[in-house]
Amino acid sequence: MTKNISTDDLLTSIIKGIEDVKGLDIDILDLRGIDNSVCDYFVICNGNSNTQVNAIVGSVQKGVSKELKDKPWHIEGADVGEWVLMDYVSIVVHVFQKHIREYYNIESLWGDAKITSIANKF
């Protein structure tokens, strides 16, 4: 990670960004104990439309940039807004529309991960 930002601080900032625009069904998958995992954590959430998916992505980017002066290494899928992947190196954020999330069910692909679900606040 750049600038020695702690993974915990980054995780907190990402979750706040999702919640600020009412992102739903937030799951944190802890991948640290899994051999050959691509990062430490996946954060997975969903929105109700491509507009909300893109609002979540924008909120996460803005919050992390403002609070931690960091930005994603790479973003994919923002042009369509069905499944946007934000790569912060140690944390990869997946923002889905609900039906796309259900179809791919990526949580099931990481069955050994410890999953923490965050209750919707509204």
Taken in order of first residue, the domains within the chain and their CATH numbers are 2-108 (3.30.460.10)
pLDDT confidence band for 39 (50 / 70 / 90): very high
Q: Which amino acid is at 2?
A: T
Q: pLDDT tens across 40-81, in order?
A: 999 999 999 999 999 999 999 999 999 999 999 999 999 999
Gyration radius (Cα) of the chain, Å: 13
Mean pLDDT of the chain: 94
Q: What is the DSSP letter of 88?
A: -
Q: For 2-73, where are the alpha helices, taking DSSP H only?
A: 7-20, 50-68
2 pLDDT above the threshold of 50: no
What pLDDT digit, counting tens, does each position of 83-118 carry? Answer: 999 999 999 999 999 999 999 999 999 888 999 999
pLDDT band of residue 1 (cuts 50, 70, 90) is: very low
User: What is the Cα–Cα distance from 43 to 52, expressed in whole angstroms?
Assistant: 17
C-alpha–C-alpha distance, residues 22 and 120, integer Å: 8
| pTM for this prediction | 0.94
